[in-house]
Structure 1
Amino acid sequence: MGRVLVRWRHLWGPVLMALAMVLLDPLRSPAHAEPGVPVPPGELITDTNDGEITAADKDLVVKVRLAGLWEIPAGQMAQEKSRNPRIRQIGKSIADQHVVLDRLDRVAARKLGIKVPDKPNADQQGWLGEMRDAEGEEFDRIYIDRLRAAHGKIFPAIATIRSSTRNDTVRKLAQQANQFVATHMTLLESSGIVDFQALPTAPPPAPATSAAVEPAALSQASGNQAGGTQAGAAPAGGTNQGLVIGVFAAALAAGAFFTWRTTSARRRPRRRRYHY
């Protein structure tokens, strides 16, 4: 019996560590763009052209096509005209990625029966003209600023469609476009020459409406009735993490108590047994 207790005394540490890993593992995401940042699982979105198509949906498909029509030649100019190796690399990356996004957009447009343009609009042609006339650092500034401003405008439009569309093909395209646009803004900003002060500021936040407040109030009321969260309680994510920490602490305390008991048992003098 003593040998068994000694073995368990040496094993409880690794057992607790394994328990902690099991408990903490569900808190981690299996796929990451970078540490701690999950990648949207696009393969979970169906693409069957199911659902109503609105005018806003059609407008997004057209705008994604227009973006490729001018950003691909702009990226090609960046590779040819810029003297800055970083700008040339940014231009190549964005142009190559827009080739992929443009293909996805045209496939979706055919499925949805949406006619897309085959040349840039007037504004985009004007931006390309500016780039053709510029050289050196002036070209770099125009290229970065024009593309960063354009991406900043379409980014919230994509988010609106992604959150509101009833059509699954549009929904998938919006999610794909969102990932491309977020990547392109990051690439452009990595140049170090974005004029953030020239970008439009966000509109003031709208006041909370009764429709937005009511569900939260109902949720809190039901939670109070069930003995749940009170005002100022931790959010659900924090509660889950606190539960994991609590279980781990309890297991650690149990292991320490077990070790103390086994150690005390070994030190306690054995009682003599008398046979009559």
Structure 2
Amino acid sequence: MIRPLLVGVAAVALTLSACQRNETETAESPGQTEPVNKAQDAMSAAVGTVSAATLGQTVEGYVTNAAISDMYEIEAGKLAQEKGQSPAVKEFGGMIVKDHTASSTEMKPLVTAAGQTPPTEMDERRKGMIDNLRAASGADFDRTFITQQISAHEEALNLHSGFAQDGGDAGLKAFATKTAPVIQKHLEHVRGMQGAAEAAPAGAAAPAK
């Protein structure tokens, strides 16, 4: 029953992504409206939850999802450094660029040894998330970034933890085992950022951690 659910959820997510791109867009605001972008991100999180639990069960699925996850995190981190309003968001952006660039580099020879070919670009789901970050501005950027990062790291943690336990390639399995704690650290960090932002007075920037 899981795979039909994945297909159905993915179809809705891609429909939202297509709708977003068909709206009038500008270079400064490539996304649609904030409510639609939030709905798209929420649907993306649902797709990611199922994807990590199913597609990541195979070596090919793990390689594809782990590589795309790194690409998304690196791009999102760069945008956070550029557009983030709070020091915490900018700092976290730098952290994930550094850590996910390192994990992507470390994974490449293991992927080759496993006889796999990694993707060279993000899927439509992650492209849509990046578009939503580009469209967000001011405090909305920080909120969108933090929300995306929580769901993205929950997905990545499920992916790496699952493959670390049941993966079919020894080298990639060891990599997943090593990577999962890093993802867990990121997740705990960004959850703390969300808590600090919710506790801060209206209009105040979240403190750096």
Equivalent residue, structure 1, for 2:84:
82
Equivalent residue, structure 2, for 1:174:
176
Equivalent residue, structure 1, for 2:186:
184
Paired residue secondary structure (1:68): helix
Q: How many residues align?
A: 143
In structure 2, stretches of 5+ residues that fail to align are 1-55, 199-209
Deviations 1:122-177 (A, max 9, x none): 01000100110111110011111112102112322322221123432021111122
1:95-106 matches, within 5 Å, as 95-106=97-108
Equivalent residue, structure 2, for 1:123:
125
Identity of aligned residues (%): 19
- Structure 2 distance, partners of 1:178, 1:137, is 30
- Structure 1 distance, partners of 2:57, 2:148, is 27
Give the alignment's TM-score, normalised by structure 1: 0.49
- Structure 1 distance, partners of 2:139, 2:195, is 10
Question: How far does residue 83 in structure 1 lie from its aligned partner after superposition?
Answer: 1.7
Q: Where has structure 1 moved over 4 Å in runs of 4 or more?
A: 193-196
Question: How far does residue 121 in structure 1 lie from its aligned partner after superposition?
Answer: 0.6
Give the alignment's TM-score, normalised by structure 2: 0.63
Paired residue secondary structure (2:173): helix
- Structure 2 distance, partners of 1:94, 1:183, is 11
1:29-44 matches, within 5 Å, as none
Bigger Rg over Cα: 1
Distance 1:68 1:130, change over 3 A: same
Question: How far does residue 55 in structure 1 lie from its aligned partner after superposition?
Answer: 6.1
- Structure 2 distance, partners of 1:145, 1:158, is 20
- Structure 1 distance, partners of 2:182, 2:64, is 16
Of 66-75 and 167-176, more deviation after overlay is shown by 167-176
- Structure 1 distance, partners of 2:196, 2:63, is 27
- Structure 2 distance, partners of 1:173, 1:195, is 33
Equivalent residue, structure 1, for 2:161:
159
Which of 73, 87, 101 lines up with 1:71 in the alignment?
73
- Structure 2 distance, partners of 1:93, 1:111, is 28
RMSD: 2.1
Report the AA paired with residue 85 of structure 1.
P
- Conserved 8 A contact 2:76-2:93: yes
- Structure 2 distance, partners of 1:107, 1:143, is 31
- Conserved 8 A contact 1:81-1:135: yes
- Conserved 8 A contact 2:146-2:194: no
Question: How far does residue 114 in structure 1 lie from its aligned partner after superposition?
Answer: 0.5
- Structure 2 distance, partners of 1:189, 1:182, is 11
1:235-274 matches, within 5 Å, as none
Which of 108, 114, 117 lines up with 2:116 in the alignment?
114
- Structure 2 distance, partners of 1:153, 1:55, is 13
1:41-56 matches, within 5 Å, as 56=58
In structure 1, stretches of 5+ residues that fail to align are 1-53, 197-276
Equivalent residue, structure 2, for 1:138:
140
- Structure 1 distance, partners of 2:58, 2:197, is 30
Paired residue secondary structure (2:194): coil
Paired residue secondary structure (2:189): helix
Distance 1:194 1:159, change over 3 A: farther
Report the AA paired with residue 144 of structure 1.
I
Question: How far does residue 65 in structure 1 lie from its aligned partner after superposition?
Answer: 0.6
- Conserved 8 A contact 2:111-2:172: no
- Structure 2 distance, partners of 1:138, 1:192, is 13
